[in-house]
Structure 1
Amino acid sequence: MDAEQLRPLEAGPGLALRPWSWLLRGLHVGRLRVDGAGGRGFTATGAEAGPEAQILLHRPLNLLNRVMRRGAMGFAEGYMAGEWESSDLTTLLTLAARNEAALGRASEGGRLARWRETLSHRTRANTRRGSRRNIAAHYDLGNDFYRLWLDPTMTYSAALYAPGEDNLAAAQRHKYQRLLRQLDARPGDHILEIGCGWGGFALEAARCGYRVTGITLSREQLAWARRRVAEAGLSDRVDLQLRDYRDLEGAWDHVVSIEMFEAVGEAWWPTFFGTVGRCLRPGGRAALQVITIDESVFDDYRRGADFIQRYIFPGGMLPSITAFRERAGEAGLRVSSLDRFGHDYARTLQSWHRRFLDVLPRVREQGFDDRFIRMWRYYLSYCTAGFQTGRIDLIQTTLEHPDG
């Protein structure tokens, strides 16, 4: 970006923005309007067309200090602390993602801070005790919280939208039906669901004539799901348990796992795939829905910890598609199909975000403060930006034993 593309700043309070004008000379794609609390500002324009975003810096020097020390994590923490705002948070984070490489150190932060985050992430390892703690940290925020902004199926994973479909609950059921078709199951078959959540898939499968054993580590989810199953009169077909996947014994006709693999942790990927292979009867299929990360950033990602791992899903780890295939193969499982649905996840997240904003007064009534609300909004926008730029993706995949 040429110096001429930055509008000169006036003297006075606008001086606090001058370090930002220098930092944003590295902008390569899109346009960013930067405003200070005193009304002064500038526009940074990249050489390539792209997202056009706006940011209001309430405390520009405080935020600059955070970013130089902690990179992208500091930028997120500055938002949580109220040091900046944007009229369109998702577009701003999409712009940032498109310029991640060009901004260099501003997105990386200091080595010491990165080392500390990595160390903190590793202390949240998914041992049996660690998994219970990590799952509770996110999913046991309370059923009443999640029911405010999830759809009536209480599904907390990406929906798959049929052409012309705009109803979130219908798109969630479409996702469940596609997974069932991937199994090629017969009526009466017994399906193991690893990570049953609030029971959405189990109920859908039971209504289609299948039997389901579902497991979860969340007591909050389990209580809710069991009640839903009983109220639907399907307790004879659905058995939901508080159980770690590593403690499973027995075999099932098919296995389903929807966005649970991300919570396993890289060290336990072989154990997870080994469990799936052991629990899957000959001739059966496993259908998984998994968030993946782009191959080009996987190595850097796995050596550190990002905002999601620090604040939202402790202990989490996304695989690249190559890593997923390789670990499955090492466990004797063959990937027989793989389809991508990243844009469906972006659309799902946008729906969740709108619903969340619509119920903010009720969120506050439940005791969640402004810092939490800003963290949650950042989480939803951060993930949306990731799917829109392709840094992360969503796959539905089918696994089988090679001998069928």
Structure 2
Amino acid sequence: MSLEDTHTVSGNQRPDPALRFLLWQLKRLHQGSLQVTGPDGRPHPIQGAHPGLDAAIRIHRPGALLRRLLSRGLVGLGEGYMAGEWDTPDLQTLLSMGSVNQEHMRTLVYASPWSRLADYLRHRRRDNHRNGSRRNIAFHYDLGNDFYRLWLDAGMTYSCGLFAAEDEPLEAAQERKYARLLERLEPTPGAHILEIGCGWGGFAEFAARRGHRVTGITLSQEQLDHARERLQAAGLGDRVELRLQDYRDVTDRFDHVVSIEMFEAVGEAFWEDWFAAVRRALLPGGRATVQVITIAEAAFAYYRRAADFIQLYIFPGGMLPTVQAFEDKAKAAGLRTRERDFFGADYARTLDRWYRRFQEQAPAIRALGYDEPFLRMWGFYLAYCEAGFRSRNTDLMQTVLEAPV
């Protein structure tokens, strides 16, 4: 019998071969429990060896999903979700449970060598040279301000907030993040700050309201237009200059540099260029505060030789550093690491807020012209990221870099 999407075998009502193989692999579950429901509606409970999260999955087309998993691993899992081959009542819990169990399910998680090579080459073709950077940033950020406005906080901040309490409003957590980044610079009154990757202008407005001058750069025309309107409306246009500019083309010198989750979009081949640009932009003794998502050392070797779902579908050209890789490149550029803190749990909480808001706004997103596969792709992306932070495969670092005097 081939691995096709048959439902049951007549007579003994055994699951079809594809579902049987999936169940056999899923029985390697190490932590938590998983309720698997096949196309016929029959449940197949699986209990892990240790307590953990309790998740559920309904597999509609076992053969199609199995072929994707055996060929493309976690990328195939996301593609299968986009195609409607499986569903779950709680995507966040399912992916979080899967993230802590992935080393026990390598057959389903890791792509085949040929598929991994093909995805890696596709990823490398989207490198962040100057033209590539503009194209890659536009791919993600120029989906439209109306799209992001529906599910981000009122300040249009697309990075992790720092929470003082579980139920704190996201807007307050974002303001606290901005305050932490600014105070770590130890700026003198009226200091001139370069923001590499200014987004929709949230930090620029925050710093300008506190008496500083800000030059912000972005490669997204949509972000630039919104940020300029925002700063003018706030009466801060005389304190903030916003440019459509590549970080490699900045020639001015500044008291300080701030970069909030932009480094992830640089790409490993251009990390040295980025640190050189920061060093070049800083006046002697100047400080830079950087907020960056990092990946665990243990996962980096496989990650850098492949391309994951996010790189293929969400952030072309992107690459997460390890903490060690980030600090090694900073040191090589002549920048000293002064301090660092980690806030991965806050990012899981931020992503939970975004995901829930995204689901609530699904009808409005459809009204903008986005189809069901797009909504499922973005839902998978947000939940997948949250799972990474909850399992500590990824973390969030805030660090201070200092130029020599």
* TM superposition score normalised by structure 2: 0.95
The one-letter code of the counterpart of 2:105 is L
Aligned counterpart in structure 1 of residue 76 of structure 2, from 74, 77, 86:
74
Distance (whole Å) between structure 2 residues aligned to residue 349 and residue 84 of structure 1: 22
- C-alpha contact (below 8 Å) 1:29/1:49 kept by paired residues: yes
Distance (whole Å) between structure 1 residues aligned to residue 38 and residue 78 of structure 2: 18
- C-alpha contact (below 8 Å) 1:29/1:47 kept by paired residues: yes
2:4 matched residue in structure 1:
none
Aligned counterpart in structure 2 of residue 160 of structure 1, from 159, 162, 166:
162
Q: CA deviation at 1:162?
A: 1.9
Distance (whole Å) between structure 2 residues aligned to residue 180 and residue 213 of structure 1: 14
Aligned counterpart in structure 2 of residue 298 of structure 1, from 297, 300, 305:
300
1:11 matched residue in structure 2:
12
2:172 matched residue in structure 1:
170
| Structure 1 outlier segments of 4+, above 6 Å | none
1:345 matched residue in structure 2:
347
- C-alpha contact (below 8 Å) 1:153/1:169 kept by paired residues: yes
Aligned counterpart in structure 2 of residue 22 of structure 1, from 20, 24, 28:
24
Q: CA deviation at 1:165?
A: 5.5
- C-alpha contact (below 8 Å) 1:14/1:40 kept by paired residues: no
Q: CA deviation at 1:94?
A: 1.2
- C-alpha contact (below 8 Å) 1:337/1:397 kept by paired residues: yes
- C-alpha contact (below 8 Å) 1:14/1:41 kept by paired residues: no
Q: CA deviation at 1:394?
A: 0.3
Query: For structure 1, which segment, 268-277 or 15-24, has the greater mean C-alpha deviation from structure 2 after superposition?
Result: 15-24
The one-letter code of the counterpart of 1:272 is W
1:5 matched residue in structure 2:
none
- C-alpha contact (below 8 Å) 1:288/1:398 kept by paired residues: yes
Distance (whole Å) between structure 2 residues aligned to residue 230 and residue 21 of structure 1: 58
Note if 1:380 corresponds to 2:382: yes
The one-letter code of the counterpart of 2:214 is V
Closer, same or farther: CA 165–58 of 1 in aligned 2, 3 Å: closer
Distance (whole Å) between structure 1 residues aligned to residue 232 and residue 340 of structure 2: 34
C-alpha offsets along residues 193-212 of structure 1, whole Å, 9 cap, x if unaligned? 00000000000000000000
Distance (whole Å) between structure 1 residues aligned to residue 12 and residue 340 of structure 2: 57
Q: CA deviation at 1:273?
A: 0.4
Distance (whole Å) between structure 2 residues aligned to residue 275 and residue 109 of structure 1: 36
Distance (whole Å) between structure 2 residues aligned to residue 185 and residue 49 of structure 1: 48
Distance (whole Å) between structure 2 residues aligned to residue 163 and residue 139 of structure 1: 30
Q: CA deviation at 1:229?
A: 0.6
The one-letter code of the counterpart of 1:44 is I
- C-alpha contact (below 8 Å) 1:32/1:43 kept by paired residues: yes
Q: Aligned to 1:160, what secondary structure does the other structure show?
A: coil
C-alpha offsets along residues 335-385 of structure 1, whole Å, 9 cap, x if unaligned? 101000001011000001111111111100000000000000000000000
2:6 matched residue in structure 1:
none
2:268 matched residue in structure 1:
266
The one-letter code of the counterpart of 1:115 is L
> Map of 1:1-400 to 2, 5 A cutoff?
11-12=12-13, 14-16=15-17, 17-163=19-165, 166-400=168-402
Q: CA deviation at 1:185?
A: 0.4
Distance (whole Å) between structure 1 residues aligned to residue 256 and residue 164 of structure 2: 25
Which 5+ residue runs of structure 1 have no aligned equivalent?
1-8
Q: Aligned to 2:58, what secondary structure does the other structure show?
A: strand
The one-letter code of the counterpart of 2:399 is T
Distance (whole Å) between structure 2 residues aligned to residue 176 and residue 272 of structure 1: 22
C-alpha offsets along residues 273-306 of structure 1, whole Å, 9 cap, x if unaligned? 0110111111210000000000111111111110
RMSD: 1.3
Distance (whole Å) between structure 1 residues aligned to residue 181 and residue 156 of structure 2: 17
C-alpha offsets along residues 200-230 of structure 1, whole Å, 9 cap, x if unaligned? 0000000000000000000000000000011
Q: Aligned to 1:290, what secondary structure does the other structure show?
A: strand
Query: For structure 1, which segment, 48-57 or 163-172, has the greater mean C-alpha deviation from structure 2 after superposition?
Result: 163-172
- C-alpha contact (below 8 Å) 1:165/1:171 kept by paired residues: no
Q: Aligned to 1:99, what secondary structure does the other structure show?
A: helix
C-alpha offsets along residues 232-287 of structure 1, whole Å, 9 cap, x if unaligned? 11011000000000000020000000000000000110110011011111121000
Q: CA deviation at 1:164?
A: 6.0
Distance (whole Å) between structure 1 residues aligned to residue 330 and residue 341 of structure 2: 16
Distance (whole Å) between structure 1 residues aligned to residue 68 and residue 253 of structure 2: 51
1:3 matched residue in structure 2:
none
Q: CA deviation at 1:11?
A: 3.1
Equivalent pairs: percent with the same residue?
55
C-alpha offsets along residues 4-60 of structure 1, whole Å, 9 cap, x if unaligned? xxxxx9933733521222121322221111001211131122212111110000111
Distance (whole Å) between structure 1 residues aligned to residue 116 and residue 31 of structure 2: 26
Distance (whole Å) between structure 1 residues aligned to residue 179 and residue 357 of structure 2: 24
Q: CA deviation at 1:115?
A: 0.7
The one-letter code of the counterpart of 2:15 is G
Distance (whole Å) between structure 1 residues aligned to residue 213 and residue 100 of structure 2: 45
- C-alpha contact (below 8 Å) 1:291/1:395 kept by paired residues: yes
Q: Aligned to 2:369, what secondary structure does the other structure show?
A: coil
